[in-house]
Amino acid sequence: MRIMVSADMEGATGVTWTDDVVPGSPQWDRFRRLFTGDVNAVLAGLFAAGASDVLVNEAHSSQRNLLLEDLDPRARMLTGRHKPLSMMQGIDSGVDGVVFLGYHAGAGFDGVLSHTYLENQITGVWLDDVPASEGRLNAAVAAEYGVPVLLVSGDDETCEDARDYAPEAELVQVKECVSRYAAICLPPARTAELLTGAAADAMALAGREERRVRAHRIEVEFDASHLAQAAAVVPTVEQIGTRRVGFDAVNMTEAMKAFKVVTAIAAGAVQGIYG
């Protein structure tokens, strides 16, 4: 059994605010070790339950946060930018299941450091008229390749979101959201035990499924009109409201590629503290 781990950081053990996840600060140095610890806990469970190969796709921000020197030596790690499928790079390599580790709630929803791709410029994303977190978007990509979502970890809001888009998956709540920048956190020894146990149990779900390939529509709402105007210069992207754009794609892979372009252009249009 070959498994992929898509590892984000906002939903990792103990993470609650900006400095925990932004490279360069002492807090980031501290939490990248806890982040690596979460990954190793999941790897322990996957390998114990029969995984023969695990690819860890480093999926947070610069995608250079995990400590390779501390990673379980049985795993392989995909690190760095820029990857065609971003957080889901590797899903097309014949894997039998995917783990969403350290995930978070989507833009416009409660949750620790909740957002969808851009940290604060996007106020909502919809996939086929359903509000979409990164988890929902990535689950749709996985379904296109016939890969089941085995496990999702993060705060309580993340787990509640996952119950809808991945109802069969194991869920691990490592913290309880109090506000965007505060949570009741379990210590690493507790979360490691939970993650390892859930990962081992989740291996029962591994196995290729029928590929679900179909057309999709994504709509994105920004916090300012000029970001929608900037994104609408992309061919196939239409401005459908003062702060909202939408586009159609023949499949989820193409939809996510277009979404990446839209978010990159919007991020480039942000001007200092006025956004």
Residue numbering of the annotated binding site? 8, 10, 60, 104, 134
- Tell me if residue 115 is catalytic: yes
149 forms beta bridges with 98
Q: Which of 82, 115, 216, 226 is catalytic?
A: 115
Binding residues for Zn(2+), by number, are 8, 10, 60, 104, 134
Q: What is the CA radius of gyration of the chain?
A: 18
Cα atoms in the 13 Å half-sphere on the side-chain side of 70: 13
Check if the beta carbon of residue 90 is closer than 8 Å to that of residue 4: yes
Please state at what angle helix 188-202 crosses helix 26-48, rounded to 10 degrees. 40
Check if the beta carbon of residue 89 is closer than 8 Å to that of residue 139: no
Distance CA 139, CA 131 (A): 13
Check if the beta carbon of residue 76 is closer than 8 Å to that of residue 25: no
Q: Which residues does the annotation mark as catalytic?
A: 115
